[in-house]
Amino acid sequence: MTQPGTFRLALKALALAALLPLTASAQAGMGGRPPGGNGFKVGSGRLHPTLDLETRLDSGVGYFREDGTGPLSPDLSGELALHVRPGFMLDVPSQKLALSLRGNLDYVVYTGLITPGSGAASHLEGAADLALRFDPEGTLSVEVGDQLSRSDRTRTVALGAGILSLFNEARVRAQWKPGGGALELSPSAAYAMEFFEPLGGQPPVGCTTPECDPLTASQFNYGNLRLGVEGRWRFLPKTAVVADTGITYRGYFNDTTTPSALLLHAMAGVAGLVSPRITLTAKAGWSQNLGEGGGGTVVAQAEGTYLWGPSLTVKGGYLRAFEPVAAYGTFRDDRIYAEARSLMGTRLALHAAGALDFLSFAGTRSDTLVALDVGPEYQFRPWLLGAVGYTLSTRSSSQAASGLNYTRHEGYARVSVTY
């Protein structure tokens, strides 16, 4: 397994460092409010430097040669990885223009303690999220933002393991609340690009198609334009009719075989409080590909949230989506998901989340994905957070390539410091 040299890595570090203040999606660990009083004052807001140090035992780092010199292993190899993640959080509240910015750089070091030669796959990741909100409390408010991320977890579900993804999305969204707010209309537009490069220097065992080969992943680099309008009408104090309609165009920069997709979707339903403890959302509609590949399907979402006491929240539901994808044009995703969060006292928080996805691609391919994430977090000090956890990722595909069929276990321990 090979990786670009130090010079190229340094260039990427400089590029990401330059982009972070201007563009921006923060990772899950970057959310949350910074402790009040710390940080550096910036106008009416504060800038908070952050630092995450994480040790992660990962059973699925990549595909390496057995014993460092033998044949390529058919299974993902494990390794002890170290993450060093400096970053920042900036919030500047204002009634006219509010600013929120999150960013980090994440250097992933594979130690080579379990799999010889894995150190060559050490790489730089990063994430950032920028949001500018004009007149956020007004009848008409507008949000302009951008999110950027580089990681080994691609948003393109057709591709296999061993790929680095650079994703960027610029967005604008307006919210109009005429007549006191009973009616809300939210038009939006977003343009995203995703670029791929191999994390390793060889395709997995059994790979005979481009979508499972990291070396050919760059042919699926794409641009994605979404235009949409969401609406909400509160016909009762705690119940609303909701509607969501839009159009998505997906085109590929280097791929001449995957058909471009032009998807039109429309959904409608209801959302509201069933009781003081239960919130439900249910909507359904249709999505149709007006592009070359054609095809369409029913799309729907049913989600419920239950407040199980003052410190425990449980959420779950079902989602059917129809989206563009590399190599096949379109795919359908039937997802069942659940999440629980509990606050025990004032310092200890527990979370558990799981999802089961059944993916059906245009043609004959079908995949099943299983994801699990559990663990506690403990607030030692207002500026010091500790977390441990376990994540599971399992993928099985009707295609036999090992890059599309794997199980990945990850155990982690993380310390987060926020000034």
- pLDDT tens, position by position, for the chain (419 residues)? 433 333 333 334 333 333 333 333 333 333 444 444 588 998 889 999 999 999 999 988 877 776 656 566 777 788 899 999 999 999 999 999 999 999 999 999 999 898 888 888 899 999 999 999 999 988 999 999 999 999 988 889 999 888 899 999 999 999 999 877 789 999 999 999 999 998 866 777 778 888 888 888 899 999 999 999 999 999 888 999 999 999 999 999 988 888 999 999 999 999 999 998 999 999 999 999 999 889 999 999 999 999 988 899 999 999 999 999 999 999 999 999 999 999 998 899 999 999 999 999 998 999 999 999 999 999 999 999 999 999 999 999 998 887 889 899 999 999 999 99
The alpha carbon of residue 37 and the mean position of all alpha carbons in its chain are separated, in whole angstroms, by 31
Distance set, CA 332 to CA 74, 242, 252, 264 (Å) = 29, 23, 19, 14
**For the chain, what's the residue count?**
419
Tell me what pLDDT residue 126 has: 97
How far apart are alpha carbons 389 and 401 in whole angstroms? 30
Give me the amino acid identity at 376. Answer: P
How far apart are alpha carbons 329 and 220 in whole angstroms? 11
Q: How far apart are the first and last CA of the chain?
A: 39
In this prediction the pTM is 0.86
Tell me what pLDDT residue 256 has: 82
Distance set, CA 100 to CA 97, 168, 175, 394 (Å) = 10, 17, 18, 35
Query: How many Cβ atoms from other residues are within 10 Å of residue 6's Cβ?
Result: 8
Sign of the four-CA dihedral 252, 256, 258, 264: positive
DSSP tag of 211: G
Three-state SS across 49-94?
EEEEEEEEEEEEEECCEHHHCCCECCCCEEEEEEEEEEEEEEEECC
For 16, the 3-state DSSP assignment is helix
Cβ atoms of residues 273 and 281 within 8 Å: no
